[in-house]
Structure 1
Amino acid sequence: MPTRGLRVDVLGLGPKGELWVIECKSSRADFQSDSKWQGYLEWCDRYFWAVDIDFPTELLPAESGLIIADSYGAEIIRMPDAQKLAPARRKVMVQKFATHAARRLQALRDPGLPPELLP
């Protein structure tokens, strides 16, 4: 995962198994105060911004993906080019993703799960 202490907003698997990082921004100030997002680029195949319809999208880097979202859904407006992860990094990331997802699912099924087993 990214540098210790950093955490992406959303990590997902694309339709071809690519790792997607989605960074959610609520305003111009939120975007301009974020200096850590570039540290996420080396940990994914595709990088997206998720913003609402009123967000000034001209601020966002053109080479990144763009998702417009609201309370009801979201749509990919711009698909970024894939930047393939190294196979060893991909393996580690997919395994961590799967482990985290399995723990979250188990926590939903068993609310009494011991804290050390939660994500």
Structure 2
Amino acid sequence: MRQSEPQPRPDGRQSPTALAVQRGVLRHLAAHGVVGVTEFSLASGRRADVLALDGRGEISIIEIKSSVQDFRTDGKWPEYRAFCDRLLFAVPLGFPVEILPQETGLLVADAFGAELLRPPPRHALPAATRKALTLRFARTAANRLAALHDPDLLRLDI
């Protein structure tokens, strides 16, 4: 008997466009040796769309904007800078990228991948913040993986 692979359950917060951009971003990250966790809770209480960790331990936050209205009504992105070395926006094809802040990186994505149009500037995290985020990243990823294999597993909200 063949077992099927566990599948993540949609949480219902993202639009189909945002989910497609998210998938493309994760594929882009993986192609560049970077791992990401979606809907990552920060110590500030905010939730980053994607928190990514590269092989050097540097942390990026990718803020997904599915529409102009989504960008204009959500002004929390500057708060993310305290939690990452690099901050990027990821948007779908056809998004008017000229409205996005120049001081951030820029990815254009669809469900199949993403292209980096503007590299993000680096703002190095303090060592204590990096350590706390890296531990939270590892625990969040392990917790989610365990829950995929056992949906009845009692999980800590970390």
> Could you say which residue in structure 2 is the equivalent of 1:93?
133
Q: Does 1:10 align with 2:50?
A: yes
Answer 1 or 2: higher relative contact order, Cα 8 Å, separation at least 6.
2
Q: Does 1:34 align with 2:41?
A: no
2:47 is paired with a residue whose SS is coil
Q: Which of 106, 109, 112 does residue 149 from structure 2 map onto?
A: 109
Equivalent runs, 1:51-70 vs 2, <5 Å:
51-70=91-110
Q: Which letter does structure 2 place at the counterpart of 1:75?
A: E
Distance 1:59 1:2 in 2: 29
Q: What is the TM-score normalised by the length of structure 1? A: 0.90
For structure 2, list consecutive stretches of 5 or more residues without a partner in the other structure: 1-41
CA RMSD after TM alignment: 1.5
For structure 1, list consecutive stretches of 5 or more residues without a partner in the other structure: none
Over the matched positions of the two proteins, sequence identity in percent amounts to 46
Report the alpha carbon displacement of residue 26 of structure 1 after superposing the two structures with TM.
Answer: 1.0
Q: What is the TM-score normalised by the length of structure 2? A: 0.69
Report the alpha carbon displacement of residue 118 of structure 1 after superposing the two structures with TM.
Answer: 6.0
2:106 is paired with a residue whose SS is strand
Distance 1:17 1:67 in 2: 21
Report the alpha carbon displacement of residue 14 of structure 1 after superposing the two structures with TM.
Answer: 2.5
> Could you say which residue in structure 2 is the equivalent of 1:71?
111
Q: Which of 21, 35, 45 does residue 85 from structure 2 map onto?
A: 45
